[in-house]
Structure 1
Amino acid sequence: MAEMRDQANELKALESMLSDASAEPTKLSYALLKSVTRNFSRMIERGGFGAVYLGILPKGKVAVKKLSILQDLSNNAFVDEIVCLKKAHHSNVVRLLGYCALAHGELMEVNGTHVIAQETQRLLCFEYVPNGDLQNYIKEKCAGHEWQIHYQMIKGICHGLHYLHKQRITHLDLKPENVLLDANMEPKITDFGLSRFLAEGQSIIVTKQIFGTRGSIAPELINSGEISFKSEIYGLGVIITKLLTRDNNYDFEDWHKTLEVGCSQEKRCVEIARKCMEYDQHKRPTMDEIMQELNEMENTIQEKKPSVVQKWRNNLSSSLKGH
């Protein structure tokens, strides 16, 4: 009975967090997450780092990311991801509601000998974002939408990334698949499994392990293992380019030469994207400079925005990526 009361109280606390944007992420029990996901029966997405399941609450929905126990994920890496997410309070960053790490022993046979091996379940509970990811949007719906909707997405992603850099957080896997779209088509950056902190005064981390996804990785990370905020700017440029061309299969070198640009605002975004994708990282702008450019552009260009943003279908199959 006491256990049932505890779980009921925990469920109420989780529900209250959905309506309180200032609430801090909290530790959640495995039993609660197993219950709201109906024993992890309704999978939203599966990726390289685990699977994501839909969680149903009496007054809302959540997305539960269950990290794969087969992945070589240390407790330190899991803690680093939680710490990054706990610092990321922004409307353009997916919101972490809670986390769970449950260790238990399991009998296994190793080289003919039976041993008790410790196995750890690691889970993260997020706000549910209904309209899937940006990659799927570009692939299926992009061509029919107006420029102002795409500009709203570009601006939102820039706001989110600018906030992360102010918090000294490098996402390290910024790509369309890791940008979710909410009910109003506002973008939210997600999947902080590779994220790192850069200490004050630290501008570069050198690693032997290549992070990220081919096509969005900066040249210096591939060539010399250098991680910096400028590395992430490169991935931002790729995202902006895909929204400008409304296509995943654009000409990487000359995409801007054949692009039909409809307004001066769009032309400025083409230039921002080109600068972001400079081979030399020192020629790329900072997020401060990009935000200044966007602010100046909005102050000088008066264009009527659509009063109603077309809502995309509620696609359960692609809510929160499990990459």
Structure 2
Amino acid sequence: MSSHTSSPNAQKRAQQLVALPSLSRALSSLPQAQSLDHVSLHQPTLASRAQESEAKLRKALSVTSQNYANGGKPAALTPVNISHLDLEGKIVDAGLPPVGYGCYSDDIYVGYYTVASTANMMKVAIKRLRLHVLGDARFLKTLAKELRIWSDLDHPYVLPLLGFFIEDNNYPSLVSAWMENGTVQQYLQLHPECDFQQMVISIAEGIDYLHGKEIIHSDIKPENILISSLGHPRICDFGISRLLAESKSYNLSSTETGNLKGTVRYMAAEFFSAPNRARQCKESDVWAFSMTVFALMTKVPPYHDMHMDVQVMFALARGQLPSRPDNSEWPKLYKYLWQLCFECWRIEPLKRPSMTEIISSLHLFSTISGPLRDAVSSVTAKELLKTDPTGSFLRIYMTNSSHDTTDLTDVPVPCTGPDGHTPVYFASAASVQTHMTQHPGKVTLGPKLLCSVPYAFKEIVIGESEPYSILPFMEDLMELVRTRGGLTPPGRRPVVGGADNSSEELYHAVGYVNGIRVPGKAAAHLASASVPLDGGEHRIWHDDYELLCWKD
């Protein structure tokens, strides 16, 4: 047979081998390599392109091997071999149309994997990346690195990588176990009895594991959280989404504009308010996690009332946060999670809680089932307060439209109204009127609940559907310390109740107006305290006021 002709199988094999040199050159630069003896290369067919490709592959590997030797590295450090991840010939496409589409030029297909050890067929998801691997050396190198990192991960809430293969058209495909229960949002809709708190904790633990490995997900959203047959979340697509967004072969989509990589509705505000300085980091993952929690609670995407992503981008650039649906009558857990979301939506990234702190807070919230005082007097609670300056797990989450005030029974109060007996509590609230920045204020328990905060020379009354939190005045954990001029007394740690437009922390305080003690706010950059009363914001410049501080 002439060397210029070949069988269909030979032609197919030749096409596959053409892709190997580029992929192998990318893999060869990675550390922790195995011996070249483990690299499995099929003998070339009569197709001349296949022979040439294999020759180039061997040459690329040998050159890299020599480089290692010249650099003084041990002989065992031959080019990296991830042949154990190569599933070529082991995957059977089910022949069905795509069951899902990603927003980064990728399609999801159903397939079957022949497990060598058992000869059983395993149902798998094939993520087919709609871009050519040839001609983009940087992409190939990064892809190889991401595959290696992914394959080394081992956590119950992280989707494991089974392997990859290169298709005839040079499209790379990634293979993972098939998750029968779909995405977390689909699962929660079909299983409303699901333990939602445990689901959120599990998702947080998966992200925390990635962060512990110094891995930034960069595209956390409900679609990237799958559910196993046991009902456990499996986080997927970490690193791959960012990689596709940065590839030369990537086609622009509605969720990527300029240098902004990610899904707009889940991206942190800094990517739109300061795009030249913003970067994907653990703190931006925390923002996306909280947006995911918001979407799961409300059953709608963030900014669902904005139909175009560009509207969301302008809203985020202004610092506008999602609003809670007006008709939501949430349980205590949802009210707590809503407040936690606000902590994660701090404009200043470094002021957002870490995933480890979020998990600690979530676990502690689940333990508070008995009397509040007993719960917060525990060693666990006091330890958590060292890293939680807001006391978020102590707070009671309400709205002005709440009719059930049994949560406030026996809750200690710092002040009373002008009549001397109406309870007035410490509160924190964010409102459309405060441009969704959270401020310390007060809640008065009269014929109905009334929350208000001092802002822009006014007493801002929080809308009936807008949530706020009440902070019980726990004397075994906190105390009021006299000060003035925005000063924090030496050795004291103020209780944080919010942050202003510039992300400066605002503290709970009690001021005196005409002999009445009124809860409000104080801060060093304000050089004063201010309290809401009689429709106005009363500033306390020169007189003493009381700053709420933790007992350490």
- Aligned partners of 1:188, 1:25: CA distance in 2, in Å? 25
Q: Does 1:78 align with 2:134?
A: no
Count of matched residue pairs: 246
> Identity of aligned pairs, percent?
24
CA RMSD of aligned residues (A): 3.0
Q: Who is 1:68 aligned against?
A: 130
Task: Kindly state the Cα deviation for residue 163 of structure 1 after the two structures are TM-superposed.
Answer: 0.5
Find runs of 4+ consecutive structure 1 residues off by over 6 angstroms: none
* Amino acid paired to 2:107: A
Which secondary structure does the structure 1 equivalent of 2:296 belong to?
A: helix
Q: Who is 1:51 aligned against?
A: 107
Cα shift readout 1:128-178 (whole Å, capped 9, x = no counterpart): 10111134456xx27x714x5322321111011010000100010111111
Q: Who is 1:296 aligned against?
A: 364
Structure 1 residues 288, 257: closer, same or farther in 2, change over 3 A? farther
- Aligned partners of 1:185, 1:215: CA distance in 2, in Å? 26
CA contact (8 A) 1:237 1:276 kept: yes
Task: Kindly state the Cα deviation for residue 221 of structure 1 after the two structures are TM-superposed.
Answer: 2.6
TM-score, with length taken from structure 2: 0.41
Gaps of 5+ in 1: 4-23, 105-118, 197-207, 303-323
Which secondary structure does the structure 2 equivalent of 1:169 belong to?
A: coil
Q: Who is 1:245 aligned against?
A: 298
Which secondary structure does the structure 1 equivalent of 2:270 belong to?
A: helix
Q: Who is 2:163 aligned against?
A: 98
CA contact (8 A) 1:169 1:195 kept: no
* Amino acid paired to 1:182: S
Question: Map of 1:106-121 to 2, 5 A cutoff?
Answer: 120-121=170-171
Structure 1 residues 62, 259: closer, same or farther in 2, change over 3 A? same
Q: Who is 1:228 aligned against?
A: 281
* Amino acid paired to 2:108: V
- Aligned partners of 1:153, 1:59: CA distance in 2, in Å? 30
Query: Which protein is bigger by CA-based radius of gyration?
Result: 2
Gaps of 5+ in 2: 1-8, 10-81, 114-119, 244-257, 306-320, 371-552
Q: Who is 2:89 aligned against?
A: 31
Task: Kindly state the Cα deviation for residue 59 of structure 1 after the two structures are TM-superposed.
Answer: 4.1
Task: Kindly state the Cα deviation for residue 82 of structure 1 after the two structures are TM-superposed.
Answer: 0.7
Q: Does 1:194 align with 2:262?
A: no
Structure 1 residues 274, 182: closer, same or farther in 2, change over 3 A? same
Structure 1 residues 301, 59: closer, same or farther in 2, change over 3 A? farther
Q: Does 1:145 align with 2:192?
A: yes
Q: Who is 1:254 aligned against?
A: 323
Task: Kindly state the Cα deviation for residue 195 of structure 1 after the two structures are TM-superposed.
Answer: 5.2
CA contact (8 A) 1:43 1:54 kept: yes
Answer 1 or 2: which has greater helix percent: 1
Q: Who is 1:130 aligned against?
A: 180
CA contact (8 A) 2:132 2:170 kept: no
* Amino acid paired to 1:247: V
TM-score, with length taken from structure 1: 0.67
Task: Kindly state the Cα deviation for residue 99 of structure 1 after the two structures are TM-superposed.
Answer: 1.9
Structure 1 residues 133, 234: closer, same or farther in 2, change over 3 A? same
Which secondary structure does the structure 1 equivalent of 2:205 belong to?
A: helix
- Aligned partners of 1:126, 1:188: CA distance in 2, in Å? 11
